Structure 1
Amino acid sequence: MECAHRHPVMLFFASHLLRQYLGSSTKVSRARHKWHLGVFLLTNPILIYRRKAYLARFHITEKRLMLMGLKGS
């Protein structure tokens, strides 16, 4: 009975099922994360200007001016 759990075909099948399950759950969790981020940014629109992707578009001096302007408001 002990060798039944170490059979190569059984091990491959179990690892295949595990890979399939883990791959689908990461897609769902990524979609859920993006949904929560979207809702969060809709309720807090000022934080959009502090996101890394948004700030990457500007030159460093423009970033400093923008962030100083946000602190003053």
Structure 2
Amino acid sequence: MRISVRVIPGSSRSDVEPGDPWRVHVHARPAEGKANEELLQILSRHFGVARSAVRILRGHASRSKTVEIGLEDTAMAEDTR
């Protein structure tokens, strides 16, 4: 599954707001890839997948990103079949 994400770095909270695009608040600042890494961790927890199943496709240096979430081997994927 691919989703569009708008990252809000330096936020006082870490959470996910579904929508188009999804809004994800992260504590980390956008330095040395820390905000991107926190984004991937937050999304992996939200979707119940391994961290390795979530990756940024576009927008590594931007607040607007395209993220791919591999749901093939998860319980969520089984529910949608």
The structure whose residues are more often strand, as a share, is 2
Rg comparison, structure with higher value: 1
* Bigger relative contact order, structure 1 or 2 (CA pairs below 8 A, ≥6 apart): 2
The structure whose residues are more often helix, as a share, is 1
- Tell whether the structures are fold-level matches, with TM greater than 0.5: no
TM-score (norm 2): 0.26
TM-score (norm 1): 0.28
